[in-house]
Amino acid sequence: MYQSIEMASRADRKPSATVYFFYDDKSLERGAKSSIGAALKRPEVTGSAGDAHVVDDGKQRIVLVGLGDRKKIDGRAVRQAGASVVRTLDT
């Protein structure tokens, strides 16, 4: 279990992973890199709420986390997404 979470400036160190959230229609949140488009086209990446996949492009580890239906997003979907991030990074 995590006892604390520390936020570091970009200058301090390179992140161990970058997390992107997306909807089941595979659209990305504003500001997300379009370079992960190839990963979103993979059939196992569905965008279902809580669905998480790790992509390692050789430069960095990327975690793609589904939020489910854009019109039905609620606190439960956000909690599921957050829990998926923790479970994925904890492995």
Give the pLDDT of residue 1. 41
Give the pLDDT of residue 2. 41
Question: Can you read off the two tokens belonging to residue 2?
Answer: 């995590």
Give the pLDDT of residue 13. 62
Other C-beta atoms lying within 10 Å of the C-beta of residue 27? 13
Segment 47-89, tens digit of pLDDT = 888 888 888 877 778 888 888 898 888 888 888 888 988 888 8
For residue 7, pLDDT over 60 is answered with no
Q: pTM above the 0.75 mark?
A: no
What average pLDDT does the segment 20-48 reach? 77
